[in-house]
Amino acid sequence: MIAREPVLEASGLRVWYGTEGDPVRAVDGVSLALRAGETLGLVGESGCGKSTLGRAIIGLLPDSAATAGSVRLRGRELLELEPSDLLSLRGPELGLIFQEPMTRLDPLVTIEDHFLEALREHEPELDSEEMRRRALEALGGMGIPPTRFRQYPHEFSGGMRQRIMIALALVLNPKVVVADEPTTALDVIVEAQILGILADLRRNFDAALLLITHNLGIVAEACDRVAVMYAGKIAEEGPARQVFSEPAHPYTRELLRSTISLSTTGLHYIPGAPPDLIDPPPACRFHPRCPDAMRVCAERDPVEVRTGEQRVLCWLHGPEDRIPPGGHAPLERREIALAEEA
């Protein structure tokens, strides 16, 4: 089978947030590719840059952010587009499912008006009847009956509000959808329903899906590939089954060990906390917390190594000719001071 060309490609993408001092390097040299009909899971601890990466792809960064590198949608460079041109792509080409839908839906506007506003903006040639039909069809696909079309957001449960957000993202049939924590704060039954809807999205519309989440179980169930992000960089990326069964990066391995299952007999956690992205650790950013850290990890930036479909940013996998003499020596374990909550 011939592999499809990527519908979305990020190459060397960097995002900085301006501060009164040094900038926050939220995304630092990320490269990813996403193909039609594929789901890529993006995982990592809070503050690692996942949501910033998703917003950079969509072009929804604040004015204080600066970008470099490349984001291409079917060969078209997005970072060079004028705001008006990028706005026209959101909806028909790029869709975003926000987390916390109650904060994204206007409480003063009915669900009907949310959909009509989106359709008028991007498909003004449609008449009111066709817009209403399209909106009802999208909501019906999410299991929301037409009798609730003219209700307000507060009249829906959290799970139904999330379904409305998904319907809003899909009513314009986007080619790429960024789903930012789409199952946050939902119970496991509603979570399973949302995952089923996202799976139908791939099958029925051949859309590419970037699924941003903390939940490794969701990634194992719903994603073709997984990218593990740490401190603004992709630590490891590859087929989900391969990464989960044979994690190559110590951070991936520690994340998997920290998950809870029916067979869990003791809790495991990664000591310390993600680094300050204004002043991250030198060389490998995970080395202060890494149980396998070597001397080279604190002295040189790791080089990406590829093994088949898997790629990893870690000196444990070489390349050997780039590791200086004595670089394999274990790094003395640092005592990590954990800040106590007041």
> Within a domain: residue 321?
no
Terminal Cα distance for the chain, rounded: 57
Residue 299 covered by a domain: no
Burial class from Cβ neighbours inside 10 Å (0-12, 13-18, 19+) for residue 69 reads middle
CA-to-CA distance for 90 and 83, rounded, in angstroms? 11
213 inside domain = yes
**pLDDT tens for each residue of 82-127:** 988 988 898 889 988 887 766 788 999 999 999 999 999 888 999 9
- If asked whether residues 61 and 155 sit together in one domain, one would say no
Query: How confident is residue 336, by pLDDT bands cut at 50, 70 and 90?
Result: very low
**Number of residues in the chain:** 342
DSSP character string of 200-223 = HHHHHH--EEEEE-S-HHHHHHH-
In a domain, 282, yes or no: no
pLDDT for the residue 320 = 92
pLDDT at 101: 67
Residue 39: what are its φ and ψ, rounded to 5°?
Answer: -115, 125
Q: Both 167 and 148 in a single domain? A: yes
Same structural domain, 80 and 229: yes
242: DSSP letter:
H
User: Domain ends where: 214, 239, 266?
Assistant: 266
Q: What is the CATH number of the domain that holds 25?
A: 3.40.50.300
CA angle 34, 253, 41 (to 5 degrees): 20
Same domain, 153 and 203: no
Instruction: Supply the range of the domain harboring residue 143.
Output: 103-173
When divided into structural domains, the chain yields a total of 2
Amino acid (one-letter) located at 192: A
Q: Are the C-beta atoms of 287 and 218 separated by less than 8 Å?
A: no
Helix, strand, coil percentages for the chain (3-state, nearest 5): 35, 25, 45
Q: What is the mean pLDDT of residues 70-76?
A: 94
One domain for residues 107 and 149: yes
Same domain? 248 vs 111: no
Same domain? For 254 and 187 the reply is yes
Same domain, 8 and 84: yes
- The pLDDT, as a whole number, for residue 183 is 77
Q: Which of 145, 173, 201 is the last residue of a domain?
A: 173
Residues 245 and 188 in one domain: yes
Does some domain include residue 273?
no
Does residue 195 surpass a pLDDT of 90? no
Residue 40 amino acid letter: L
Give the Cα separation of 15 and 171 in Å (integer): 30
**Residue 116, pLDDT score:** 94
Same domain, 198 and 248: yes
| Residue at which a domain ends, from 233, 266, 299 | 266
Let me know: does 100 contact 159? Beta carbons within 8 Å. no
pLDDT at 259 exceeding the cut of 90: no
My answer on whether 49 and 108 are in the same domain is no
pLDDT digits (tens, 9 = 90+) for 119-172: 998 889 999 999 999 999 989 888 889 999 999 999 998 888 888 988 898 888
Indicate whether 261 pLDDT > 80.
no
pLDDT digits (tens, 9 = 90+) for 196-234: 877 877 777 788 999 999 888 889 888 999 999 999 999
Q: What tokens does 63 get?
A: 């004015």
Do 116 and 180 fall within a single domain? no
| pLDDT at 135 (0 to 100) | 93
Considering only CA atoms, which of 203, 207, 229 is closest in space to residue 216? 229
β-strands 208-212, 233-239 pairing? unpaired
